[in-house]
Amino acid sequence: MLKISEFTSEAATVLQRLVAQYLDPSVLTVVTGEADVSAAFSALPWDKFVFTGGSETGKKILASAAPNLTPVILELGGKNPAIVLPDADKALAAKKIARSRSGNSGQICLDTDYALVPKNQLNDYIDRITQELTTAFPTYHNNPEFSALINDGAFKRISAVLDEAKRAGTTLITINPNREEMPDAQARLMPFTLAINPDPKLRVAQEEMFGPVLSIFSYETLDEAISLINTHEKSLALYIFGQNQRQIDQILSQTSSGGVDINELFFHAGSHEMGFGGVGYSGMGRYKGGKLGFEAFSNPKSVYKQGRLAKFTSRFMVPIHNPRDVDQYQRLMGIHLNNH
């Protein structure tokens, strides 16, 4: 059974109709409804429950499943960092970071949430990322390649985050090459925005953005960058750009995340050997990928059939009173019994 988010009600209705048209309900059934339906759905005594969404909702899912001891797989999100080493290919790193933030207007769980770049290269990366986004999205309105935010709540949340950052004096770079009327609340269109070295206490630095906002932090030492990453909850993904293997190994050993890509994005999620999932705040369990995915939804039930030893083991189920039987039992089992 599949419960689709109430935030995508139209897609849910279409999927429900198509599944009912082509599949028997005993094989697959799609359920739609608001938050109350979701709450009832997660409280049912499932053999296995999978949820993908926000971390705070994931906590509620676990609480609902606990009374039934339902095993739960959570694929959540978090603030995925991209750490750029001094020897990284600048053009490659800037392009991949910009494009990863722009997919579905940043509404993908594996998107880069913030980037850390060497302090003496900060302006260069700002220029490169800005140019990449300008080239990819010269316009926003009537652009089939650009996505609106999913609902009014998401639009209001991102607006509030940026307003707070602006009031705090954060340098915000709005990428709007065609000088369109943006943000557009009615169409839920939000331009790409870069937040440069925001105060770590601000929402833009604390919350998963899940929208077209990319924070860029500068660092002087690798220890400083790693320390900033570790102030956040464990992320679903971490991206490293660079060639220095010693520095790469340091990042891998001193940070924790669901998965890591080096000089690439997202590819770790397609692993058929490891599966895909988070750790801690970004989730638990793995369920994607071949044999591992099959095992995630299977219960390895052991079945033992006794053979010739049945006549011996049956007597062990009752108290032993005859001393000779005690001696025989000890020799057979290789143990020593006391007088009791």
Question: Is the Cβ–Cβ distance between 147 and 186 less than 8 Å?
Answer: no
How open is the CA angle 173-175-178, to the nearest 5 degrees? 140
User: 277 Cβ partners below 8 Å, 6+ apart?
Assistant: 73, 74, 75, 258, 283, 284, 285, 286, 287, 288
Tokens 């926003």 identify what position? Answer: 140
The angle subtended at Cα 41 by Cα 35 and Cα 47, nearest 5°, is 150
Check if 273 is active-site: no
Amino acid residing at 233: E
* Residues 277, 286 contacting (CB under 8 angstroms): yes
- Does the active-site annotation cover 164? no
Length of the chain: 340
**From 56, 75, 132, 164, active-site residue:** 75
Residue 40 CA: distances (Å) to CA of 28, 60, 273, 335: 18, 12, 34, 52
Catalytic residue among 34, 109, 181, 273: 109
Beta strands in the chain (DSSP E): 2-3, 30-31, 49-52, 72-75, 81-84, 114-118, 171-175, 192-196, 213-219, 235-241, 257-262, 283-284
Q: Is the separation of the CB atoms in 82 and 105 below 8 Å?
A: no
Query: Mind telling me the catalytic residues?
Result: 75, 109
